[in-house]
Structure 1
Amino acid sequence: MDKTAVAVLFGGRSSEHSISSATAGGVLRAIDRERYRVIPVGITRDGAFVLEDDDAAKFALDPERLPEVADNGTRVLWPEAAGTRELRVRRADGTVEELGEVDVVLPILHGTHGEDGTIQGFFDTLEVPYAGGGVLDSALCMDKHFMKIVLEATGVRVVPWVTVTTAGWNADADRVRADVASLGFPVFVKPARAGSSVGVSKVHGPDELDAAMAVAFAEDHKVLVEEAIAGREIEVAVLEGRDGAPARASLPGEIVLTTREFYDFEGKYLGGDGAEVVCPAALTPEQIEAVQAQALRAFAAVDGQGLARVDFFLTDDGLYVNELNTMPGFTPISMFPKCWIASGLAYGDLITELVEIARSRR
């Protein structure tokens, strides 16, 4: 039997380029080579699609030197029309080679131009199957403002927030400061459309707000200011069901903070002290059932496809959904794989499941 051809797509134009590349390193190392023929496709920071070496070690997560997709002069040529799946590459010398048909694209992309519905729409137009979220759920969950509106409208409790645009801030910063003060301090300031805690600040008082807004506005012209909820940080991994079966929720995990104020970029990826990923979380059976049910409810609310990680605050008065990530961190040390490993699904099998879900969708 011929192997299924999987194009692993990574890198990209967002600020999360290196994390996407590191994730690809884990995927290239663990994907089932007996079952799949792998075509590694990198996207440079300038948006060029290049054919990469099939070398997982090249994209290992190294805190001293985060991996990058370099422009090696090749250009991957996607199918020229819908209904065909022939993939080609133009080499640096101008020669064109056939890479054969691609059966599924596995887009391990974080942030804008990858996790926001744009690349999903591209592959929908070409009628090329792909793993993960679709256009709608990707776009909704990438924009935390609209994600909260949708969740709140369907009865899912979210963290109280204020949305601020650069135009609004420049026109009347004092009014924004008053709106933020109504939430009470501390608050979190974050870009509306970024991930991996890029551009996020914890603000303890009014004197810290302006600097935090500048950091967030450097990433996006729309910023969320959220109430700092005192509670446990619980996360649940969700997978779409195959062939019409219902979605599944993993055992919950927990982010345990000791000396770190919040789970920032350094704590997530650079080995910083003060934060620990624990899975499964120490919860009662009733709490596990409640958080899984709410995760599935949130996934359905955004018309979720493929996968998502649903992040919660568990407080004395119940659960708040913080956000959904439609392409969550997927390195071997990330919460999403850890939750499924704790639930009995190994890392390599999880990759297989994502590919096969995408195939069954077509």
Structure 2
Amino acid sequence: MKTKIGLLYGGKSAEHQVSMQTALAVTKALDFEKFEIHPIYITEAGEWVKGPQLTGPAENVKMLEFSRQGEQSATALAPALFQAESAEKGQALDVIFPLLHGPNGEDGTVQGMLELLNLPYVGNGVLASAAGMDKVIMKNIFAQAGLDQVRYTWFIRSEWEKDMEQAYSKVEAELGYPCFVKPANLGSSVGISKATNRNELEAAFNEAFQFDRKIIVEQGVTAREIEIGVLGNDEPECSVAGEIVPKKDFYDYKAKYEDGDTALIIPADITEAEYKTLKDQAVEAYKALDCSGLARADFFLTSEGKLLINEVNTMPGFTPFSMFPLLWKHTGVEYPQLIERLVNLAIERHNEKRKIKYTF
């Protein structure tokens, strides 16, 4: 019997198009002999629409976009969204595969809804998703775990608006230039700017605050960007390491998702000792956030050989340019195998939760 998967993608987020590209790539990787695929599309306006069961890979993102039509429309919590047309009446899908990036998808909100519906789902739970989405909270957790990282500070919009001069002066005094200004709750390099002077810093603050009420500012370091994939629940495994060598000043949104204007070196040219430290710190960060299913851990490797954790991405992309599936491919796990392992890990975690007692 085929496993019935609900692909959940799109979303009311600045990363809507990233999610669409991810969903397209995943449909091309899924084994339709093993899985029954049911698309659940969230429009940019936040409307949830269940599309017809897929009989094969989608050819383009347009094939994955659906519109609400009269009585066929559904709200997020409508039970029909999570039922398979081919199944017996009232039977839920076996597992939900969220392919959502950014707020309202990768931040624990959808995960919380799926928990309330008691449905197995691929990837991280509520806590890891929420903490991993908020860069400030994530870095605070890493600090508590004793992981080395670059210096950072953060601001909320109202605080900045009251005294912009104080905010800029704090950055200059504590971090200096260059520095990177980022929305705290957004991924995929959206809204990120590099600042090398006061004018650029002011512009960077204005840019980042367009996408979030809270921003983080990180000290710039001269280092190589090394990434590693983590897969598993209570006993996570690591992939080979990969290195990102941007042709631009840094690995921005366009380089990641549009023009592939960057070099991905897999495996990264690092020593065995550096790789062991990388794996140990990646697993430590994974467990500190209470991750499950998958994550990509990103590090800086300085010229002195020091590893600094940058972030953990709890829902790495699956586009053709994405590092996560490439890392596992070079580790010996092909794309279809990776999808299957993630589905199995989701079911494993759900079965583990069923052992919990809720009455006494």
TM-score by length of 2: 0.90
Aligned counterparts of 1:225 and 1:72: Cα–Cα separation in 2: 41
Paired residues of 1:8 and 1:41 also in contact (CA < 8 A) = yes
Does the C-alpha gap of structure 1 residues 360 and 88 become closer, same or farther in structure 2, counting only changes over 3 Å? closer
Are 1:332 and 2:323 matched, yes or no? no
Aligned counterparts of 1:199 and 1:86: Cα–Cα separation in 2: 34
Are 1:203 and 2:229 matched, yes or no? no
Paired residues of 1:136 and 1:303 also in contact (CA < 8 A) = yes
Match among 244, 253, 256 for residue 242 of structure 2: 253
Residue 340 of structure 2 corresponds to 352
Match among 279, 300, 308 for residue 287 of structure 2: 300
Paired residues of 1:45 and 1:69 also in contact (CA < 8 A) = no
1:316-331 equivalence runs, <5 A: 316-331=304-319
Residue 104 of structure 2 corresponds to 113
TM-score by length of 1: 0.89
Are 1:190 and 2:186 matched, yes or no? no
Shift of 1:333: 2.6
Aligned counterparts of 2:238 and 2:225: Cα–Cα separation in 1: 17
Residue 14 of structure 2 corresponds to 15
Aligned counterparts of 1:12 and 1:78: Cα–Cα separation in 2: 11
Are 1:161 and 2:152 matched, yes or no? yes
Does the C-alpha gap of structure 1 residues 340 and 352 become closer, same or farther in structure 2, counting only changes over 3 Å? same
Shift of 1:233: 0.1
Aligned structure 1 segments of 4 or more residues deviating by more than 4 angstroms:
76-81, 97-100
What is the Cα-based RMSD across aligned positions, in Å? Answer: 2.1
Does the C-alpha gap of structure 1 residues 180 and 79 become closer, same or farther in structure 2, counting only changes over 3 Å? closer
Are 1:269 and 2:264 matched, yes or no? no
Match among 215, 218, 225 for residue 223 of structure 1: 215
Shift of 1:68: 7.6
Are 1:278 and 2:265 matched, yes or no? yes
Aligned counterparts of 2:147 and 2:347: Cα–Cα separation in 1: 31
Residue 126 of structure 2 corresponds to 135
Paired residues of 1:41 and 1:76 also in contact (CA < 8 A) = no
Shift of 1:101: 2.6
Aligned counterparts of 2:345 and 2:81: Cα–Cα separation in 1: 18
Aligned counterparts of 2:288 and 2:348: Cα–Cα separation in 1: 22
How many aligned positions are there? Answer: 341
Instruction: Tell me the percent identity.
Output: 40
Aligned counterparts of 2:82 and 2:158: Cα–Cα separation in 1: 45
Gaps of 5+ in 1: 61-66, 90-96
Gaps of 5+ in 2: 352-360
Aligned counterparts of 1:340 and 1:162: Cα–Cα separation in 2: 34
Residue 232 of structure 2 corresponds to 240
> Residue 46 of structure 2 aligns to a residue in which SS?
coil
Shift of 1:47: 1.4
Q: Give the residue type in structure 1 aligned to 2:126.
A: V
Paired residues of 1:78 and 1:86 also in contact (CA < 8 A) = no
Paired residues of 1:12 and 1:113 also in contact (CA < 8 A) = yes
Shift of 1:99: 8.2
Does the C-alpha gap of structure 1 residues 88 and 77 become closer, same or farther in structure 2, counting only changes over 3 Å? farther
Aligned counterparts of 2:297 and 2:21: Cα–Cα separation in 1: 22
Are 1:3 and 2:5 matched, yes or no? no
Residue 58 of structure 1 corresponds to 60
